[in-house]
Structures are given as structure tokens and as C-alpha cells.
């Protein structure tokens, strides 16, 4: 059992709420949807909300998570530009979504997913769901069977693939977000990072940016 960090249930600040303004617009990608911008830590939808929309990140990043009754949090995924999130098969959202940073996204009215019309949009949503499933399956292996250093190494490789493909990763999330995604605490994430640094596998020029110095060795750790 672990204590619940206060910030893991943080609310958007008043300033945040003020900047939480719908911005109707039209563009190639928004033919069917509406663009919105929200500030860092703003809530996009909450667990239990009616799931009337599907979302696509344009810029920034989003976390989706669930809480246990005592506040323990599991972040199931981070959503980066291009990712679709918020699909549900039932009526309601089973997750809460919050912006990791100031974020722009497109809101699509949820066409009934059960009526698979074979159209471009429904195909895109189904593809997004399949990708979510694969990621979730990889993540179950990580959560169930990897130790702290292996978890962090795997995470860095995945983020590197998704963000840059290069050797430098600029993480959009805090240590707490990483911890709640990997089933660890901030302290253990921090210790694992410094461990990897001492081993020469990564460099830590700043807190949020990480250089993967030896991807092969990192990959060996995560398999």
C-alpha cells in the first residue's frame, strides 16, 4: 500500500479554468470536429461523464487514468499529437482525461461505433482502438512482470519511438505521471533513472529531457 501524493488528485486551478475556452474552427482535419484548447492540468472529461465525443490530439499531450477509492492512480496511457482517445463501447467514460501541458485537440461527435459504416472515420477509430489494445497488452507485461529499472528502460524506449525516433527524448510528463503509469513511486522512478545514468545508458541534461546513450542495452533490459 502506498500513500497518495496530494498532486495525484490535483484540480485545475482557477486560471486553468479561465483558459478552458472552446474555439470553433474549420480546417482539413476538423471537417467533422471542433478544435479546442485547454491549459496544463485541465480536465478534458471525467470518469462517469457521458461519452458523447471522441478526441484527437493536435498539439500538447494528454493523460487518461483511473483512481481507486483511496486515491491510488493508474495512468493507462499518454496521448501525443495524432493520437485518438476517449473511445468507449459503453455509454460513459471509464477514465478521466487531463492535459499534461497546454494542449490543442479536435472533438468529434461520437458516431455510434457499433454501426461500422466502413467509412474513413470509423476505420480510423477502430484502428486507434486496436493500437490501444496492443499498447495495453504490452503494458500488462510491464506492470505484472518487470522490475523498476526494466519498467523505466522500456518506458523511455517507447516514448523515444513515439516522440522523436532519435536519441533525445523530451518528456511531456512529470515524475509523478511516470510513476503512476509504471506502477511505481516518484522516488523509485528517480532512483531508476539515476541508476541508468550511472551505468552510462542514459544522460539527464535536464529533468524533462533524456538522452538514450545505449539503446541496445536499454532494449536488453526491457525484454
Partner DNA sequence: CGCTGAGTTGACGTAGGTCAAGCAGAGTGG
Partner DNA sequence: CCACTCTGCTTGACCTACGTCAACTCAGCG
Q: Which does 176 bind (CB under 5 to 8 A by kind): a copy of itself, DNA, none?
A: DNA
Which residue in 21, 17, 18 sits closest to 104, CA to CA? Answer: 21
Q: Which does 80 bind (CB under 5 to 8 A by kind): a copy of itself, DNA, none?
A: none
- Draw the binding track, 155-184, toward DNA (x: CB under 7 A; -: no contact): -------------------xxx------xx
Return the C-alpha cell found at 54. 471522441
Return the C-alpha cell found at 65. 487514468
Q: Which does 73 bind (CB under 5 to 8 A by kind): DNA, a copy of itself, none?
A: a copy of itself
Query: What dihedral do alpha carbons 10, 14, 16, 21 form, nearest 10°?
Result: 130
- The CA angle 152-99-70, to the nearest 5 degrees, is 70
Return the C-alpha cell found at 148. 523498476
What does the alpha-carbon distance between residue 100 and residue 143 come to, in Å, rounded to a whole number?
22
Binding status of residue 215 toward DNA by CB under 7 A: no
Q: Which does 174 bind (CB under 5 to 8 A by kind): DNA, a copy of itself, none?
A: DNA
- Draw the binding track, 45-84, toward a copy of itself (x: CB under 8 A; -: no contact): ---------------------x-xx--xxx-x--------
Looking at the Cβ atoms of 39 and 53, the one nearer to a copy of itself is 53
Binding residue for a copy of itself (CB under 8 A) from 114, 120, 205, 216? 114
> From start to end of 4-155, where are the E strands?
33-38, 43-45, 53-59, 62-67, 73-79, 84-85, 96-99, 103-109
Which residues of the shown chain bind DNA in the complex (CB under 7 A)?
1-3, 7, 147-149, 174-176, 183-191, 193-194, 204, 206-208
Amino acid at each position: 500500500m502506498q500513500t497518495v501524493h496530494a498532486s495525484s488528485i490535483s484540480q485545475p486551478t482557477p486560471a486553468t479554468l479561465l483558459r478552458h475556452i472552446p474555439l470553433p474552427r474549420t480546417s482539413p482535419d476538423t471537417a467533422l470536429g471542433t478544435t479546442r484548447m485547454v491549459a496544463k492540468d485541465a480536465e478534458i472529461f471525467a470518469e462517469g461523464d457521458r461519452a458523447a465525443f471522441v478526441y484527437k490530439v493536435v498539439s500538447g499531450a494528454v493523460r487518461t487514468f483511473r483512481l481507486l477509492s483511496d486515491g491510488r492512480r493508474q495512468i493507462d496511457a499518454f496521448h501525443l499529437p495524432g493520437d485518438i482517445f476517449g473511445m468507449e463501447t459503453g455509454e460513459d467514460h471509464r477514465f478521466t482525461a487531463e492535459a499534461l501541458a497546454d494542449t490543442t485537440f479536435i472533438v468529434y461527435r461520437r458516431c455510434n461505433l457499433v454501426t461500422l459504416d466502413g467509412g474513413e472515420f470509423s476505420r480510423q477509430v477502430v484502428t486507434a482502438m486496436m493500437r490501444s489494445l496492443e499498447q495495453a497488452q504490452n503494458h500488462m507485461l510491464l506492470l505484472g512482470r518487470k522490475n523498476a529499472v526494466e519498467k523505466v528502460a522500456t518506458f523511455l524506449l517507447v516514448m523515444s519511438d513515439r516522440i522523436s525516433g532519435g536519441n533525445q527524448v523530451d518528456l511531456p510528463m512529470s515524475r509523478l505521471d511516470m510513476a503512476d503509469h509504471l506502477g511505481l513511486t516518484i522516488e523509485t522512478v528517480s532512483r531508476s533513472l539515476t541508476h541508468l545514468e550511472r551505468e552510462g545508458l542514459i544522460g539527464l541534461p535536464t529533468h524533462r529531457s533524456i538522452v538514450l546513450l545505449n539503446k541496445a542495452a536499454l532494449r536488453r533490459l526491457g525484454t
